[in-house]
Amino acid sequence: MILPIYAYGNPILRVKAKDVDPDEGFLKGLVSDMFETMKHANGVGLAAPQIGKSLRIFVVDASPFSQDESYSERERDFLYTFKRTFINPRIIEETGDEWNYEEGCLSIPNIREDISRQELIKLNYRDEIGNSKTEVFKGIVARIIQHEYDHLEGILFTDKISAFKRRVLKKKLENIQKGNIDNDFEMVFAK
């Protein structure tokens, strides 16, 4: 089922999400709905707070990046198949050089800004069947995970830009908050 995405300004996007029991019966359906919602909105990641659930869950599908010719064939193959569910994730370590990349967000449509993030992360999480995993991710996959992880912490990518850029974007952000935007998917706006 395609769910509406909560827009910038909605208080749930600022709440630190709660751990969830990976054995909960509703998780399979929720994860399926999250993947369907993300795909419908042309996203590469979606966190539960973005659909109004204050739960530590996010999904990632990096396949859209597999079309980028700047990656090697091996990297494109990896990105094409990278589709994961992350339950109760915890970033253990962030290392490597920081690099800028233009990010956007389904909750903040039509705004993209360069965000600096470290290139490597070590993450502990549970997968969709409850298995505990600790893995290292790098590059664009690490960036997607960091972005979605921030959602679980109540952080938006606009929090990582300069105060000057936030002032420049103020009117656009206010319009998103009020629902004065054009987009191709249903959204829930702040009241």
List residues with catalytic annotation. Answer: 148
Q: Of 37, 123, 120, nearest to 86 (Cα)?
A: 123
Q: Which of 26, 59, 52 is nearest to 148 (CA)?
A: 59
As given in the structure block, the two tokens for residue 89 are: 């994730």
| CA distance readout (Å), 144 to 27, 83, 104, 139, 189 | 21, 12, 10, 9, 24
Residue ranges with strand state E in the chain: 5-6, 45-47, 57-61, 83-105, 108-126, 132-138, 187-188
Q: Do 65 and 43 contact (CB within 8 A), yes or no?
A: no
CB neighbour list of residue 17: distance below 8 Å, 6 or more residues apart: 47, 48, 49, 54, 55, 56, 57, 151, 152, 153, 154
